[in-house]
A and B are shown apart, each in its own frame.
Chain A
Amino acid sequence: MSASRVLFDEPGPIARRRMRIATIVVGVAVAALLAVAVKRFADHGQLDADKWRPYTTWPMWRYLLEGLWATVRAAAVATALSVVGGIVLALGRLSRQRALRWSATVYIEVMRTVPVLLLVYLVLFGLPHYGVDLPLFWKLVLPLSVSASAVFAEIFRAGILSLDRGQREAGLAVGLTDGQTMRLIVLPQAVRRLLPSLVSQSVGLLKDTSLGFIVSYSELLYSGRVLATYNRLLIQTYIIIALVYIVLNASLSKLARTLEARQGFRSVGRRRLRTLVRAKAAADQPL
């Protein structure tokens, strides 16, 4: 935000008047849009109190919250599996053995360009053909993890490569093996540095669990579909579900930003410390 502030001067009286006018125009435009929307809803009787009243009752919310819980569970398991898969694939891609490196690279490149829905269809309609019929939960979580592993692999690879080379060299120098260096020195630091990206990536997975709609695994969106066919309140149900998703994902994104800001603060703090030390050393030098 601060960088974009440079795009305009500290406003003078005329600019302030213009900005006030612009603010009023924007306000009127937004209000007009809202008014049109409300009128549309009202004209079609979608604002009637009894169309929204069901969503003030506990049984409805209990049903939706059960869906939400299923969403969170699927997202958590998929994230955990993708983190593990991602680490394995990233190590494979950075490995010195050509066969490993190639197979990891091919997996990552293929999975990054094939839609998840295609994988879901494959698990849903393909696997039973070969006698593999998974429980609903895994019909959703398996394709999500298979696909997201590739994304996580690229994140981990970037994190491992971003680490100072000296860390690995130091590990090798004190006599650790390659594997020990990776496990004890490189990975813990990389994971810590990557924490914000991992959290913001889990938002993507949480959004993808809405594919339960197709698998008929009763997560939030599918629960909404069931509710809507039962009470015929299509638009109300889907709006409420969208709001639930927004609240949940916005808090996760906020968490990711907070983690990132804290890391930034820490490294800025360290840098400032270093400059201070250097300035002091310079000041101590005899002129």
Chain B
Amino acid sequence: MDVVLRHLSAFTDGIVTTLELTALSFLGALLIGVVVAAMRVSPVAALRGVGTVYVETFQNTPLLVLLVLFVFGLPEVGVIFPLFTTAVIVIALYEAAYIAEAVRSGINTVSIGQAEAARALGLTFGQSLRLVILPQALRGVVQPIGNIFIALTMNTSLAAAVGVVELTSAANRVNLMEAQPIPVFVGAGIGYMLICATAGIVTGMIERKVAIVR
């Protein structure tokens, strides 16, 4: 394990980049995902259509294809962002499709009486979604969104393939220098497991805190 200790700064830099990538793209995915979910249940057919196309497109394209398209393709039409920003945008767009589906399934589990009560009070669609349905729906999907967070953490490793130096890429570089694959990759794996275990514990805490006992 002393290979890992000798290159500790490379590993910690990698973990910090992975954490930044994860946090920023998760925030973006959460925002876009809730909006897309709201579109998919709205009364306007055109909005529903746009939401469906969004989800189908991003769920059915490999993340790596999107990364390659955005990083190497878009500069060809003059859309140039820094590499890290591009990775955050792509991962956020991709995971938003999954969050949208999780939130939508949460919306569908809120009991019909809630929506009927909101309508009976004269709330509009937007109001009843914002004030009555979504707060309850989001409480119900803490666990699925936690799972998406873990998947997202693992997916940030694909950014290594387009040149972002995060944990996987850092481990690969150290291995190329030291040629000791087992300790190096096991070290990186433990890094990911720590992040995911923390995420699991936090998800459990949030769930206990916000869960509605019915």
A interacts with B: yes
A183 within 8 A of B: no
Does B60 lie within 8 Å of A23, measured CB to CB? no
Does A242 lie within 8 Å of B61, measured CB to CB? yes
Known: A241-B65, A245-B62. A118 touches B189 (CB 8 A): yes
- State how many angstroms separate the Cβ of A235 from the closest Cβ of chain B: 4
- The chain A residue with its CB closest to the CB of B186 is A122
Segment at the interface with B among A62-70, A109-117, A168-176: A109-117
A-side interface residues, number (CB < 8 Å): 55
- State how many angstroms separate the Cβ of A217 from the closest Cβ of chain B: 13
Interface on chain A toward B: helix, strand, loop, or mixed SS?
helix
Distance in angstroms between the alpha carbons of A210 and B112 in the assembled complex: 42
Does A234 lie within 8 Å of B73, measured CB to CB? yes
B-side interface residues, number (CB < 8 Å): 60
Segment at the interface with B among A2-10, A87-95, A275-283: A2-10
Does B73 lie within 8 Å of A239, measured CB to CB? yes
Distance in angstroms between the alpha carbons of A115 and B167 in the assembled complex: 11
Residues of B within 8 A of A126 (CB): 175, 181-182, 185
Does B155 lie within 8 Å of A242, measured CB to CB? no
Distance in angstroms between the alpha carbons of A245 and B61 in the assembled complex: 6
- State how many angstroms separate the Cβ of A38 from the closest Cβ of chain B: 10
User: What are 17 sample pairs from A and B whose C-beta atoms fall under 8 A apart?
Assistant: A4-B104, A7-B43, A27-B46, A40-B77, A43-B78, A117-B158, A121-B185, A210-B64, A210-B65, A211-B64, A211-B161, A213-B161, A228-B72, A235-B77, A238-B69, A239-B69, A253-B60
Interface residues in chain A, defined as those with a beta carbon under 8 Å from any beta carbon in chain B: 3-4, 6-9, 11, 15, 19, 22-23, 26-27, 30, 40-41, 43-44, 46, 110, 112-118, 121-122, 125-127, 129, 203, 207-208, 210-211, 213-214, 221, 225, 228, 234-235, 238-239, 241-242, 245-246, 248-250, 253
- Closest 5 CB pairs between A and B? A126-B181, A249-B60, A113-B196, A115-B157, A210-B62
Interface residues in chain B, defined as those with a beta carbon under 8 Å from any beta carbon in chain A: 40-41, 43-47, 50, 56-57, 59-66, 68-69, 72-74, 76-79, 104, 107-108, 112, 115-116, 119, 125, 128-129, 133, 150, 154-155, 157-158, 160-161, 168, 171-172, 175-176, 179, 181-182, 185, 188-189, 192-193, 196-197
